[in-house]
Amino acid sequence: MPAVVAAMAELQARWHQSLSAIPEDSWDRLLTAAHPQELPFYRWRWLHQLEASGSIVPREGWQGCHLALWRGEQLVAVAPLYLKGHSYGEFVFDQSFAQLAGQLGLRYYPKLVGMSPVSPIQGYRFLIDPHEDGAAFTALMLDLIDDFCRQHGILSCNLLYVDPQWQPLAEAAGCAAWVNQQSLWTNPGHGDFQAYLASFNANQRRNIKRERQAVAAAGLVVTPLEGEAIPPALVGRMHAFYAQHCSRWGAWGSKYLSEAFFAALASDPDLRRHLVLFSAHRGDPAEPVAMSLCVSAGDQLWGRYWGSDEEIDCLHFEVCYYAPIAWAIERGIRTFDPGAGGSHKRRRGFVAQPRVSLHRWSDPRFAGILRGWLPGANAEMAELMAAMNAELPFTAAYDPPHA
């Protein structure tokens, strides 16, 4: 223990408003140690481009506030954090928390949030050098966050979509767990799309075939384009689809990413290698009628954005679910996270799975109310997920919540 105390006494804590203040290789070294399987959404380049492109910046309600621990010139731990002036782009809906704060005469915003911005991707954790004491560093960093929040009048710190392997360390240091749910497709060993189809009951199997036939009847073919094979101009076209789709929802459109961010994905080979575009076309795949953008790394696939120039029955299901699942099976992908929302996903092979966020609050009254409410809310969510998964039209495994 004295050696641990002495080692931690040598540390210097710094708060950085931009990723550019932290060396890329130092950041990614810690990320690789924390996530041996690549997690592109926490790569330095991904997060830096969100800032540099004007997508995740103060005028959009996101102020970088990254906590880093240094030993001399060596980065030994870092927490990706943002001060936020709203609750958009998180997909963990805490508006009831904000309402409660107002009733108690407390200011809810700005709040401190840890996540990969606008990406509800499981895997958030403090990135800590594996040679250090993970539990001690987690506790120390949370203490530093508490001090920062008290000094600046910030009511809450919210760590979203946390890594289940890191979660116990943060809970042991006083974080409260809130369970929500998200859909996930897991390949139980299907060798091809036909095997995936065979896992459904007869009625839903017919529905899926009908939905795919509707797209084919419109004269459309869906072609996957990966990494280096993606023409950079097509990524720009994808932004236009994304912007168009968001505009259909008006004020609720969730258009967070700038054209400059998509341009960065296209121009940086290290980022583009993670992209998979599913182009729905009648001729050249480079002239799509509709398209979805997915991100891939290792044996994982994440669905992110889509858009279409034409209203075609079931096209969304084909471009966003069926074509990516077929591609995932062919590539030996283990899991496919299709993104937030959408109960319709569960009829197409996706299972409701728990996603845990961790919270701490600086006001004792506020903390007491929410800590008293969470156990019941988490139990209700577990019951809801079990009920939803009991009605799936296919056989699937379900992981219980880690809370």
Note the pLDDT tens digit of each residue in 319-328.
999 999 999 9
Residue 147 lies in a domain: yes
| Percent of the chain with pLDDT strictly greater than 70 | 94
For the residues 375-402, what does the mean pLDDT come to? 83
Confidence of residue 246 (pLDDT cuts 50, 70, 90): confident
Same domain for 10 and 79, yes or no, is yes
Same domain for 203 and 235, yes or no, is yes
CA 262, 93, 290, 246 dihedral sign is negative
Confidence of residue 253 (pLDDT cuts 50, 70, 90): low
Provide the token pair at 356. Answer: 């845990």
Same domain for 370 and 305, yes or no, is no
Contact 290, 307 (CB under 8 A): yes
Residue 294 lies in a domain: yes
Residues in CB range of 296: below 8 A, 6 or more apart: 226, 274, 275, 276, 302, 331, 333
pLDDT for residue 344 is more than 50: yes
Residue 24 lies in a domain: yes
Which pLDDT score is estimated for 339?
A: 86
* pLDDT single digits (tens) 261-309: 999 999 999 999 999 999 999 999 999 999 999 999 999 999 999 999 9
**Closest C-alpha among 69, 150, 70, 67 to residue 113:** 67
**What is the value of pTM for the model shown?**
0.94
Same domain for 115 and 222, yes or no, is no
Contact 124, 160 (CB under 8 A): yes
- Is the previous residue joined to 285 through a cis bond, with omega within 30 degrees of 0? no
Which pLDDT score is estimated for 346?
A: 87
Residue 395 lies in a domain: no
Same domain for 259 and 230, yes or no, is yes
Same domain for 102 and 142, yes or no, is yes
Structural domain count of the chain: 2
Confidence of residue 2 (pLDDT cuts 50, 70, 90): very low
Among 200-214, 254-268, 336-350, the minimum mean pLDDT is found in 336-350
Beta-bridge partners for 84: 62, 111
Same domain for 197 and 177, yes or no, is no
Alpha carbon 174 to its chain centroid, in Å, reads 24
Same domain for 253 and 147, yes or no, is no
* Cα–Cα distance for residue pair 303/326, rounded to 1 Å: 13
* pLDDT single digits (tens) 27-74: 999 999 999 889 999 999 999 999 999 999 999 999 999 999 999 999
Cross-sheet strand order for the sheet of 127-128: 12-16, 66-71, 74-79, 127-128
Residue 340 lies in a domain: no
pLDDT for residue 4 is more than 50: no
Which pLDDT score is estimated for 36?
A: 87
Alpha carbon 40 to its chain centroid, in Å, reads 10
* Cα–Cα distance for residue pair 228/50, rounded to 1 Å: 21
Confidence of residue 358 (pLDDT cuts 50, 70, 90): very high
* pLDDT single digits (tens) 76-116: 999 999 999 999 999 999 999 999 999 999 999 999 999 99
pLDDT for residue 395 is more than 80: no
Mean model confidence pLDDT for the chain: 93
* Cα–Cα distance for residue pair 342/182, rounded to 1 Å: 9
**Closest C-alpha among 242, 272, 239 to residue 43:** 272
Domain span at residue 120?
2-181+354-390
Residue 231 lies in a domain: yes
Same domain for 249 and 136, yes or no, is no
Same domain for 39 and 55, yes or no, is yes
Residue 396 lies in a domain: no
Confidence of residue 396 (pLDDT cuts 50, 70, 90): low
Domain boundary among 286, 301, 333: 333
CATH code at 316?
3.40.630.30
Query: What's the per-residue H, E or C state across 305-331?
Result: EEEECCCCCCHHHHHHHHHHHHHHHHH
pLDDT for residue 400 is more than 80: no
C-alpha distances in angstroms, 161 versus 119, 174, 380, 403? 9, 17, 19, 13
Same domain for 111 and 210, yes or no, is no
Alpha carbon 344 to its chain centroid, in Å, reads 20
Same domain for 247 and 321, yes or no, is yes
For the residues 196-210, what does the mean pLDDT come to? 95
**Closest C-alpha among 176, 136, 133 to residue 156:** 176
Which pLDDT score is estimated for 180?
A: 96
Residue 35 lies in a domain: yes
